[in-house]
Structure 1
Amino acid sequence: MKITELLKADTIRLDLNATSKAEALDELAMTLADAGRLNDYNAYRDAIQAREEQTSTGIGEGIAIPHAKSAAVKTPAIAFGRSKAGLDFDSLDQQPAHLFFMIAASEGANNDHLQTLSRLSTLLMDESFRQQLLDAKSTEDVLHAVNAAEADKLAKEDEPPEAEAASTDGGPRVLAVTACPTGIAHTYMAADALKDKAKGLNISIKVETNGSDGVRNRLTDEEIANADGIIVAADTKVELARFDGKPVIITGVTDGIRKPEELIRKAAAKDAPVYKAEGQRGSEAATGTGRGAGGFYKHLMNGVSNMLPFVVGGGVLMAISFFFGINSADPTDPTYNQFAEALKVIGGDHAFGLMIAVLAGFIAMSIAERPGFAPGMIGGFIATTTDAGFLGGLIAGFLAGYIVLGLKQLLAGLPKTLDGIKTILFYPVLSIFATGMIMWFVVAGPVSWLNTNLADWLNGMSTGNIIILGLILGGMMAVDMGGPLNKTAFTFGIAMIDAGNFAPHAAIMAGGMVPPLGLALATTLFRNKFTKVERDAGKTSYVLGAFFITEGAIPIAAADPARIIPSIVVGSGIAGALTMLFGIGLPAPHGGVFVFPVVIGSAWLYLLAIAIGAVVSALMVGLLKKPIKN
């Protein structure tokens, strides 16, 4: 099947009207819907957004390939759009995207469709092809360029798979595996990038692709045994046990596209940790795995990200229960309401009751893979029931994970015939016992005491100290806008909610809302100091800021961080300090304006604190930033 059987004149837009990433996704999806390729526009748009949340499909070099495989697709199709001005698409190289190919694959797409869709992705690695698309004057020019490039590609695809196998006489032998969650675009782009770069370096390589059409060019046991090094460029699960004892670089699929030379040189030089089949690694951290340098943050964020649905869902339900009265869930209170009690039990008792166990379980699983999950969950639940709280859950997660890694080392010498028993008996029994005993006898008591005293200290703070705390927490939310400092403040706020102290999180949410709101206001008041793209991003930032999505400030802040980041840090710090001064509390962990009705204290004063912070940030940006030269 040819690409132009999926890409037709009615799905080509030479000049997109979109001025932002969201608008581009909407416009391309609507192009497919208008052409009759979709069953359900909204469902397909949701699938596209879900794919973007996994990792941006802006791959650099001015290209974005948003794609999804969904039952909402009536007929597999491709939409092409072009923006000569360029759009910020969270690309790997932080450059504007000009060429957009939206790939729509149906749930029942056959292999011919999937191979054709993946072929388009690899064509875009060719600079001359991209230039032809940029220079195209009509839809016919686009279709002609695609047909010509595909003809060359098909000629190369006719070569037998063995042509890719490691065969250079006396040269290093490198193997690679590529995979992405959807298995349509990035999988094959990374494979082509690795093969092309290896050819230029005169290094033999064979690449296995794990795509929507299954595993292609599978690596054989003999090839693995003879390989000098192996690259696994994947954002989804692949078979790793077969690489036991070999130097393996584990990284994201986008690194296969953007850093092929670096990966190939390392693999050829055996500059990689030796993979251990039971989930352990050598002493050196593998790129992209989060182990070693940066591993702590990776494991922590794995726990936090899996905990957030419990926190947000449970917190908002609990907040809604307050609509009926602050004590309406208490059967002994005159304002008692049975529905409010149900909301509080579901959200507060159960969702919040599980969140620390989930946090610990997924931290441990990130460290030790599946065997770490059970002891992590149990250690986290012990932290909950003993009032060791959030800090106890963090300790339980890391404790369980590393206990399991230790057990794997300890039991590594057992006969292979006992491998099954290790997984279903030895690991769970020994790890749960060790984690539980340490949590119960060593960790729970001191941490519970620490939590109690911290809560008492916060509750007993003088007005001046509370304001300083609010200043610090609010400012932390703006320093990296979703990064480690932001997440540290946010998780502290959740811990305080769990401990019954609602004031810190009020400062944190205020501080997180100010950056996008302040920059949105700055783009409105000081239009001559921002590009059109930044002004358009500012419009979106009003909405993102209102709903406590701090990351909405990143596109504007990234263009001039030296002037903008200090401005938003000051504004966020002031907003956090004012919420403390005004005596505001917030029992809901997320939601922005949506949860204002449940604010403890005056919601109007809370809104005033945020507004003052946003105005301060906007004015500072206006004073510091220079006008854009036309």
Structure 2
Amino acid sequence: MKITELLTKETILLSVGGTKKVDAIDSLVGILYEAGKIDSKEAFKEAILKREAQSTTGVGDGIAIPHAKTKSVKQPAIAFGKSEAGVDFESLDGQLAHLFFMIAAPEGANNTHLEALARLSGMLMRPEVREKLMAASSKEEVLEVINAYDQDDEEEQAAESTGAAGERPFVVAVTACPTGIAHTYMAADALKAKASELGVDIKVETNGSGGAKNVLTADDIRKATAVIVAADTKVEMERFSGKPLIQAAVAEGIRKPKELIERAVKKDAPIYKGSGVSASGAGGRDYKPKSIGATIYKHLMNGVSNMLPFVVGGGILIALSFLFGYNAFDPNDPSFHPIAKALMDIGGGGGAFSLLVPILVGFIAMSIADRPGFAPGAVAGVLANVGGAGFLGGLVAGFLAGYIVIGLKKLFATLPRSLEGVKTILLYPLFGIGLTGFLMIYLVNKPVGALNQGITEWLSGIGTGNAVLLGVVVGLMMAFDMGGPVNKAAYLFGTGLITNGVYEPMAAIMAAGMVPPLGIAIATTLFKNKFTTEERDAGKANYIMGLSFITEGAIPFAAADPLRVIPSIMAGAAVAGALSMAFHIGLRAPHGGIFVTPLVEGNWVLYLFAIIAGALVTAVLLGVLKKRVVE
């Protein structure tokens, strides 16, 4: 698609009135509305101002590119405006803006439109384009300038840097902005232009609205001197483990490409330490693809991290409803209170908790298959809930939906490029939701639902002896790697059971997770001669981290003396977990530490006793096992 299919005579304004940002925005919104491109001036302006609130779109060099992606846009369009006097657009370089391109993208904008918008952003980085646009005296001249510099897709791809050549330095970069329309591509073009000027080979991955383009391969990353991430939104970082990495705002990619590239060539950046990979040497380690286990763990944690706000918020609201009485939310109970019912409705099965499994599944699938995976995953999560498969069914559904969409991407890869937008809007949702749904209904829900029900009934009916044993096991897991995969597995187990109405394991897990930092803090207070001055100072901070359920506070101590510290904290955590289960304490809120203790189901004083007892066991063991320190 040519840019001039989006920018037409009807959306060109040769003289923008006013000297303030809002004046220019009002003028450009007005011509888009008059041209029939948007259905509501107020709604579109609100979206434009919301984007401006994130960071100014006055990118410097006299250019402003206000943009928004919203349902008030009837069809994708670009409005052009020019001001001889200049407008104060709060530009990154402090200069007045003279050239304005307002981009209007609908929520369902397809890749063809987005690629045209990306080309426009890159085109404006050229000084000669800006000069000719300023000199244009008619709408026709504006369109002629744009057409003259509008490369087609093949030319653009041929110009794309793909790897190191000869002995020249080679750098890789990723650019991304919240909307993925303009700044992403301007930063990429600025980096490529400056790299060419400096004699540096570069490959830039753009994470725009249409998904990641020019994606960096493992070989690219291995060969690179360093990595530049110029982004204001989430970027997959784990692949850069062991490489010198420069992190900057996307605006810095536009305004300071020379500085970023020169730092990258000199390796003037810290080594990025991803989970499970240690850095060594100036150049770091070669990037290695994740193992199957690590890949599954990454996808799973993406789902869990996005689900947790619903679990935490909903769980605490449910717990608060119980302050009015355990049945106060039931209109037929004598203790009924309308606030208790409201809290239960918001947090419980009709509110936050109804979204737990769909959100978990949707984001697992999205981690696997990018955005096209989210809808099939979310629907599969709903079907897992309705079909009784619950949390376990959701885990199966997430991976099922994600890899079905991956298969669809490969299947549809041979379709003509002109159908690229149809894939995202029609084919992936239709076949992804349909295939995943049929498999959930006819293959997954029944057996997994039976397994889910069996586990729930067993946990609900276990005797005290087995409950204590379960508390010991989850306690040991929570303290073993203090925030690592084993710790996260125990935590995931507890949060999953919450969705099934089993709350006691979660209480044991949180008690056990609080023990390592608390036990170390107490030990540094009681046995000062066993710790250095620095360790005693760090121990004070561990009181706060322990009370806040931040197990990771124990990691520096465990790293310095693992043979004594890890067994000590595991023993204390096992005691806390066992006592919590023995006292039949339940907890609906999977986080919050000491601050949610009064909301537990059962005797909260006994719950505190379990935590303190575990912490004291750890402290005493550390006092006995650690050697006296001579400073």
| TM-score (structure 1 length as normaliser) | 0.61
Aligned to 2:192, the other structure's residue is in SS state: coil
Instruction: Return the alpha-carbon distance in structure 2 between the equivalents of residues 599 and 526 of structure 1.
Output: 33
Amino acid at match of 1:110: L
- Deviation string, structure 1 residues 482-540 (Cα, Å, up to 9, x no partner): 11111111111112122111111111111111111111101101112222222222112
Query: In the alignment, is residue 625 of structure 1 matched against residue 626 of structure 2?
Result: yes
SS of alignment partner, residue 459 of structure 1: helix
**CA distance 1:454–1:239, shift in 2 (3 Å):** closer
CA distance in 2, matches of 1:455, 1:71: 45
Q: 2:191 aligns with which of 214, 218, 230?
A: 218
Task: Give the 3-state SS of the residue equivalent to 1:218 in structure 2.
Answer: helix
The 1:291/1:567 distance shift into structure 2, 3 A limit, reads closer
Quote the residue 2:172 is aligned against.
Answer: 176
Q: State the SS of the aligned residue for 1:500.
A: coil
For residues 30-429 of structure 1, the aligned pairs below 5 Å read 110-111=92-93, 170-171=166-167, 174-178=170-174, 214-215=187-188, 217-219=190-192, 230=203, 240-242=212-214, 248-249=220-221, 251=237, 255-257=242-244, 287=287, 292=292, 294-349=294-349, 350-429=351-430
Structure 1 position 247, deviation (Å): 5.4
Q: CA deviation at 1:404?
A: 0.4
Larger-gyration structure (1/2): 2
CA distance 1:70–1:431, change in 2 (3 Å): closer
Structure 2: which 5+ runs fail to align?
A: 1-51, 56-88, 96-160, 222-235, 247-260, 266-285
CA distance in 1, matches of 2:203, 2:302: 26
2:556 aligned with 1:584: no
Q: What residue is the counterpart of 1:552 in the other structure?
A: 553
* Secondary structure, aligned partner of 2:348: helix
What is the deviation of 1:555? 2.9
CA–CA distance in structure 2, aligned partners of residues 291 and 217 of structure 1: 35
Distance 1:332 1:448, change over 3 A: same
Answer whether contact 1:513 1:545 (CA < 8 A) is retained: yes
- What is the rounded CA distance, in whole Å, between the counterparts of 1:443 and 1:166 in structure 2? 43
Say whether residues 1:594 and 2:566 are aligned partners.
Answer: no
- Contact 1:230/1:247, CA 8 A, preserved across alignment: no
Q: Distance in 1 between matches of 2:348 and 2:545?
A: 26
Q: Deviations over 1:327-373 (max 9, x none)?
A: 11111111111111111111112111101111111111111000000
Q: Is the CA contact (8 Å cut-off) linking 2:184 and 2:207 kept in structure 1?
A: no
Residues 243/334 of structure 1: CA separation in 2 closer, same or farther (3 Å cut) = closer
Shift of 1:465: 1.2
Could you tell me how far apart the structure 1 residues matched to 2:208 and 2:289 are? 12
In 2: Cα distance, 1:525 partner to 1:327 partner:
45
- Other-structure match for 1:451: 452
Distance 1:595 1:213, change over 3 A: same
Secondary structure, aligned partner of 2:534: helix
Seen in structure 2, the aligned counterparts of structure 1 residues 180 and 167 have a Cα distance that, compared at 3 Å, is closer
Which string of whole-angstrom CA distances, capped at 9 and with x for unpartnered residues, describes residues 570-590 of structure 1?
110111111111222222221
Shift of 1:179: 5.3
Please state how far the C-alpha of 1:256 moved relative to its aligned partner.
3.8
**Secondary structure in structure 1 of the residue aligned to 2:214:** helix
Q: CA 1:464–1:622 in structure 2 vs 1: closer, same or farther (change >3 Å)?
A: same
Paired position in structure 2 for 1:269:
none
* Whole-angstrom CA distance in 1 between matches of 2:333 and 2:544: 38
Please give the residue correspondences for 1:435-514 in structure 2 after superposition, counting only pairs within 5 Å: 435-514=436-515
SS at structure 2 position matched to 1:219:
helix
Q: 1:233-255 CA deviation, whole Å, 9 max, x = no partner?
A: x9999984235999543855674
Deviation at 1:294, TM superposition (A): 1.3
- 1:467 maps to amino acid: V
Report the 3-state secondary structure (helix = DSSP H, G, I; strand = E; otherwise coil) of the residue aligned with 2:172: strand
Query: Residue in 2 aligned with 1:100?
Result: none
**Structure 1 match to 2:120:** none
Contact 2:218 / 2:287 at 8 angstroms: preserved in 1? no
* Structure 1 residue matching 2:330: 3-state secondary structure: coil
Identity of aligned residues (%): 49
The aligned residue for residue 14 of structure 1 is none
> Which secondary structure does the structure 2 equivalent of 1:558 belong to?
helix
CA distance in 2, matches of 1:478, 1:422: 46
One-letter code aligned to 2:509: I
Cα distance change of structure 1 residues 420 and 462 upon mapping to structure 2, 3 Å threshold: same
TM-score (norm 2): 0.61
Cα distance in 2, alignment partners of residues 110 and 518 from structure 1: 50
Asked if 2 retains the 8 angstrom alpha-carbon contact of 1:231 and 1:248, the reply is: no
Q: 1:492 to 1:258 in 2, by over 3 A?
A: same
Conservation of the 8 A alpha-carbon contact between 2:242 and 2:287: no
Do 2:479 and 2:569's aligned partners in 1 also have CA atoms closer than 8 Å?
A: yes
Q: Is the 8 A contact 2:477 2:490 kept in 1?
A: yes
SS of the residue 1:586 aligns to? coil
Unaligned runs of 5+ in 1: 1-68, 73-106, 114-164, 183-209, 265-285
**How big is the alpha-carbon RMSD for the aligned residues of Structure 1 and Structure 2?**
3.8
Q: 1:246 to 1:603 in 2, by over 3 A?
A: closer
Structure 1 pair 331/483, CA: closer, same or farther in 2 (3 Å)?
same
| CA-to-aligned-CA distance 1:439-477 (integer Å, 9 cap, x gap) | 111111111111111111112222211111110011111
The CA distance in 1 between the partners of 2:549 and 2:164, in whole Å, is: 55
Alpha-carbon distance in structure 2 between the residues aligned to 1:529 and 1:476: 26
Q: Distance in 2 between matches of 1:454 and 1:343?
A: 28
Equivalent residues of 1:229, 1:248 under 8 A apart: no
In the TM superposition, what is the alpha-carbon distance from 1:305 to its structure 2 partner? 0.6
Q: Secondary structure in 1 aligned to 2:173? A: strand
| CA–CA distance in structure 1, aligned partners of residues 211 and 507 of structure 2 | 45
2:487 and 2:395 map into 1 onto residues whose CA distance is: 17
Give the aligned residue type for 1:176: V
Distance 1:238 1:383, change over 3 A: closer
In structure 2, distance between residues paired with 1:243 and 1:456: 47
Instruction: Tell me, in whole angstroms, the C-alpha distance in 2 between the residues paired with 1:483 and 1:413.
Output: 41
CA gap of 1:245–1:591, structure 2 versus 1, over 3 A, is closer
Q: Which moved more, 1:299-308 or 1:553-562?
A: 553-562
Structure 1 position 166, deviation (Å) = 11
Residue 605 of structure 1 pairs with residue 592 of structure 2: no
Query: 1: CA distance between counterparts of 2:619 and 2:397?
Result: 43
Tell me, in whole angstroms, the C-alpha distance in 1 between the residues paired with 2:297 and 2:93: 39
SS at match of 1:628: coil
Distance 1:70 1:514 in 2: 42
Amino acid of the structure 2 residue aligned with 1:242: N
Name the CA shift for 1:71/1:109 in 2 (closer, same or farther; >3 Å).
Answer: farther
1:85-135 deviation digits (Å, cap 9, x = unpaired)? xxxxxxxxxxxxxxxxxxxxxx9573479xxxxxxxxxxxxxxxxxxxxxx
Taking a change above 3 Å as real, the CA distance of residues 212 and 326 of structure 1, as seen in their structure-2 partners, is farther
Q: Which residue of 1 aligns with 2:282?
A: none
Give the conservation status (yes or no) of the 8 Å contact 1:538–1:556. no
